[in-house]
Chains A and B, each alone.
Chain A
Amino acid sequence: MTPVEQAGTASVVEVDSLQRLEQTWKDPGGFWGWFTHVNHRSIGKRFMVTAFAFFLAGGVLAALMRLQLSRPENHFLGPDLYNQIFTMHGSTMMFLFAVPMMFEALAVYLVPLMVGNRNICFPRLNAYSYYIYLFGGLLLYAGFFTNTGPDVGWFAYVPLSGPDFTPGKRADIWAQMITFTELSALAVAIEVICTTFKMRAPGMSLNRIPLFVWAQTIVAFMVIFAMPAVMLSSTMLLLDRTVNTHFYNPAEGGDAILYQHLFWFFGHPEVYIIFIPGTGIVSTIISTFSRRRIFGYTAILLSMVGTAFVGFGLWVHHMFATGLPQMGESFFTAASLMVVIATGTQVFCWLVTMWTGKVVLKSPMLFALAFFFIFIMGGLTGVLMASVPVDLQIHDTFFIVAHFHYVLIGGAVFPLFAALYYWMPKITGRLLNEAAAKWHFWLFFIGFNLTFFPMHILGLRGMPRRIYTYPSAMPWRNLNLLASTGAVLMTVAVLIFIVNFFWHVKHGEIAGNNPWGAATLEWATTSPPPVYNFAELPTVNGRDALWDASPQQPIVTGLDDDCRQVLMTHVMDADPDHRDEFPGPTPIPIIAAIATSIFFIGTIFTAKAFFPGIILTGIALLIWYWPKRQASLRRRKREIWQR
């Protein structure tokens, strides 16, 4: 019998105990108190708001691009500004919106709730990772607003981005922004892995972990193995630009293709890092709104794992035009096609779930269904790109622009809106307006297709990407105008969402604990949850926690409520393992983030910032780590060592 099955006899819940929990777990209010929060929901909300703000900024940049391209030989934006804008658009969307939102924001907020615990692992690191992300984004935009924005494309190929062809600070700012955002993502990755493996509710064995949590955990592993590559490629670029190394300088033994290998070794997994959380969201929502457990849990899980692994073996398909040996190219074609099997498996399981379930078409489900129309089209055009000969025609044209917007918006943005409509009631306690949601959906769906579908044709008609204008003699005028019109619809749709958001805060229908009748543990507590997440820490009886719960499902007791004590469980079956204590509110994460930023930002301007920056960071880390006397004494009194 598992410990949950062995659970003992009854006890009464003391209301005083809840008050003590509230006292222990609350984060301070007030302006200065805000900077000391370590609660995962507080930090998660910050990630969401900041990432959404960057999404809007990226959208504005896109609107400017579409304005410029709506007519041939347009003079709205000159080449320098246009080149900065498309670089900023890509960098914002990829580094400052997609990963921070799909992975960091959603995982930080939802994973601890879904595994039934009180906070995310390493709370101070969590807060630190938010500030680092914020400062990196601010650095990039500070550059842009002072005409020092990067203008070399979001992947900044050398030699164009190297010291010979992009003088000044533009590319340095870009490269260091990467360092900030990757550090943030890596920190969150460690937290998510630790939370998923060591902090689950008793009874939640590995094969009972919700697919959304699995998705985020798999992504966390991908982040750990992919981000170092871009850290290296951008740092080596910085070194070439600031201290005269020659990594990418062919005249001195360096190599321009090296950059591409390093970048894309990160870059391809990056898109799966963005996409896999989307599939986790779709699995969750389809299950809830088909009123049945997901069909093919194991197949879907293995598909996500398979996508993650195979995703590391595809990167060269971004480099087919560079003139690689044919044998190598064929391998990458095969791998790029193979990954379709994994994604296809998930799609088939979802279809079967809906076919055999009872579908309820509420707003989260609408957005999740858009995945089928949009992502799948993008994925299928991806098959064209996997084929080297065809890719040689469509690479670096608007066909590719169409493809990746179909997969990213279909595979991430639509699922993200689905997630926001689905989980917003949990976060704020109220439902968003369904009628407005439908307007948002249809305008965004139609606008998106109007904007991006014509780009397939433009690419086939020879329009390359990253051009600030085009001759009127080329047959590209009408489709560009059509695309720009679609962008207007998308803008209106997003505005409707924003209005809906502000409206619902005061006027939305009260959600209650579980407005969707869903299965996962976050719906077992109030909306919004109390600061300690669960009044009664749950145990779990099956894969769909609330649907499989027995009428007498045990709760966890025995944790101290006068300090932030947290239950850690064993990896395989989530049996209770030990109790640990998490830190309370503290300003050290933001102080350390400021020190780190001084180091990162200072060193792109002068080598003299190196030692002061490192020393400041070291001091901040010292204060972070230094034990607090009272806490140590208290813990020592209650210590129980493992046997």
Chain B
Amino acid sequence: MATLTRPPRPVLDVSHTPTVVFGNRSIIWWGQWGMMAIEGTMFAIFIATYFFLRTRETDWPPGFALPAMKWGSINLVILVLSCIPNAMIKRKAEKGQLQAVRLGLIVMVVIAIVNCGIRALEFPSLNCVWDGNAYGSATWTLLGFHTFHLVADTLDSLVLTVIMFATPIEGRRYQDVSINAIYWYFIVVTWAATYLVIYWAPRWV
């Protein structure tokens, strides 16, 4: 073992620091929040666009029936309630409890798939088309944008579930579950905003 001969110097030894951390200590948390900031800004700006277009019309919706409330509202209820298992799975993951996490993931995937199904029913019940008036374009695009995130998280959760069952588990996997739970909260919050805009703005504004 070759050594350099030189006077000893002070060192800061970090070998005892953890390798698995959660919350804002973890860089994946930061990456996730960065992504949510970007996508959240997209939502905010698009909603502003929706209302800008509103100011250019006297009737709203212009020449269409109001969007039917049923499926969107069911969606909202399910998503809000799903925060409970979501919170639980996040807590369990941060404690490294494998069985609970595996079960929780299956529950969340089922909820996500059900939501995707409801979403498929929502589009036709909007009572407008994307190529007939800017209102239709804005409504479809907003719903489509949220749907993109919903589907992405559904697939994310599915992949994560398979991984939690089929590959060697290490701390990182629990970090991923915790972060995926945050992404699910994002889906819920952005749905609340989207739902209010699509279904209630035509009725109130």
Contacts and interface: CB of A to CB of B under 8 A. Distances in A.
Are chains A and B touching in the complex at the 8 Å CB cutoff?
Answer: yes
A75 interface: no
B80 interface: no
A557 B14 contact: yes
B14 A567 contact: yes
Interface in A244-284: 244-247, 249, 252-255, 258, 261-262, 265
B8 A9 contact: yes
B13 to A, nearest CB: 4
B4 interface: yes
A626 B20 contact: no
A635 B25 contact: no
Given A9-B8, A629-B168, A642 B18 contact: yes
B130 A243 contact: yes
Contact of A579 (B7, B19, B96): B19
Given A186-B38, A225-B41, A246-B131, A255 B56 contact: yes
A326 interface: no
B127 interface: no
A4 B25 CA distance: 20
A246 B137 contact: yes
Nearest to B170: A636
B13 A254 contact: no
A627 B167 contact: yes
Interface in B137-169: 137-138, 140-141, 155, 159, 163, 167-169
B19 A635 contact: yes
A190 interface: yes
Contacts of B12: 3-4, 7-8, 202, 539, 554-558, 576
Nearest to A576: B14
B172 interface: yes
A632 B167 CA distance: 9
Contacts of B10: 7-10, 552-555
Contact of B34 (A9, A224, A229, A579): A224
Interface in A288-330: none
Interface stretch (B45-53, B100-108, B114-122, B185-193): B45-53
Taking residues whose C-beta sits less than 8 angstroms from the other chain, chain B's interface range is: 35 or more
A581 B10 CA distance: 25
Contacts of B52: 255, 258, 261
B117 to A, nearest CB: 18
Contacts of B169: 632, 636
Nearest to B3: A12
A228 B6 CA distance: 54
Given A4-B12, A557-B14, A622-B159, A627 B173 contact: yes
Nearest to A258: B52
B21 interface: yes
A231 interface: yes
B42 interface: yes
B18 A14 contact: no
Contacts of A622: 159
A255 B53 contact: yes
A559 B159 CA distance: 32
In this complex, the member of B8, B10, B49 whose beta carbon has the largest number of chain A beta carbons within 10 angstroms is: B10
B62 interface: yes
A249 B132 CA distance: 11
Interface of B: 1-4, 6-22, 24-27, 30-31, 34-35, 37-39, 41-42, 45-46, 49, 52-53, 56-57, 62, 96, 130-138, 140-141, 155, 159, 163, 167-173
27 contacts: A9-B11, A15-B2, A15-B4, A16-B2, A122-B27, A186-B38, A197-B30, A202-B12, A228-B38, A228-B45, A245-B130, A245-B131, A245-B141, A247-B49, A252-B132, A262-B45, A262-B49, A265-B45, A556-B14, A578-B18, A578-B20, A580-B27, A581-B19, A627-B163, A627-B167, A629-B167, A643-B18
Interface of A: 3-4, 7-16, 121-122, 186, 189-190, 193-194, 197-198, 202, 224-225, 227-229, 231-232, 236, 239-240, 243-247, 249, 252-255, 258, 261-262, 265, 539, 552-559, 567-568, 570-571, 576-581, 618, 622, 625-627, 629, 632-633, 635-636, 638-643
